[in-house]
Structure 1
Amino acid sequence: MTRPWIVVTAILAVAVFEVAAYLRAREFMLIAAGVPVAIALCCFVWVLLRPEKKEKELVDEMENGPAEMLRHWHARAEMLVDRADGNRADWDRHLRPLLAKEFQLSAGLRVSKNRRALENAGIHLFGAELWRWVDPADSALRDQNTPAPGRAALDEILSRLQRM
């Protein structure tokens, strides 16, 4: 029962009791008005003092709440880490674009503006061995079934990006 329903019910009850008391016994009009008001006050106190379970459940079940966002982020991170142990096709399709974009944003360089500067900065930061796994131009249709570099290489690439 919500507050507006309590108010509406109390007003209707007082009106009914007043009409009945006026028609039957006028000396009981004060008591007839007091009983519904007392019941309404008891309902208000009960509503105010009971624990709010519905609001807490809604906070936990929010679709875009912090807990849900953290679960989605964690699931996506696990999926990307699993791709690091997959084959080169998975790496090229899922990890390379993310790593290349992150590197370009961190370095402030774009492939379209100066490819040679981007490549030199990548080799300088990652080294030739790791750069080939970040280089956005190195994803080719060849060699798609060879294994990806693995979690250790992904961890090293991410730590170097973080230090940048």
Structure 2
Amino acid sequence: MIAGRNASNSGQSKSASGQIFVFSRSFLATPELVRGLLVEMTERIGPHVSGDLIGRAELVLAELLNNVVQHGSAGCPGQAPLVHLSVVAQNDGLACSVSDDGGLLPHVCLSSKAPEPSSFPEGGFGWFLIGHLTQSLAYFRENDRNFVAFTVPMNAVDPG
């Protein structure tokens, strides 16, 4: 639970001092910037949520942002996509949104079925993992930008 959180906060996560815990950045999708950004996000939000919650959020965002780094510039080789990331601590977990101007996300990524290991020699389990660690996962594309939003719930999702 977030420090100082009570039911009368009307859905905003505030500490006893009234501070709202938000992390928001815009950056070019490069491996170095993603690594640094995840450290910065953990330092900003981590002290106000459980270690388990921030760990799951970091894993989900690492998978998502690394996908943008690796595959997002398919339409413009050599040009890193511009990414906008927001993370807000709420009473039910961490609400996250990511948008980028990279290429179209293949629909197979949004499948809830586990990929066949032999058909993905370099991984391919990132979106499956993201889907199972989050709630309310939504994706759409508009005006040449990808938009992904989800909540990393306060408690781990029961796979059963």
Q: TM-score range by the shorter chain?
A: under 0.3
- Rg larger for: 1
When normalised by structure 1's length, the TM-score is 0.24
When normalised by structure 2's length, the TM-score is 0.25
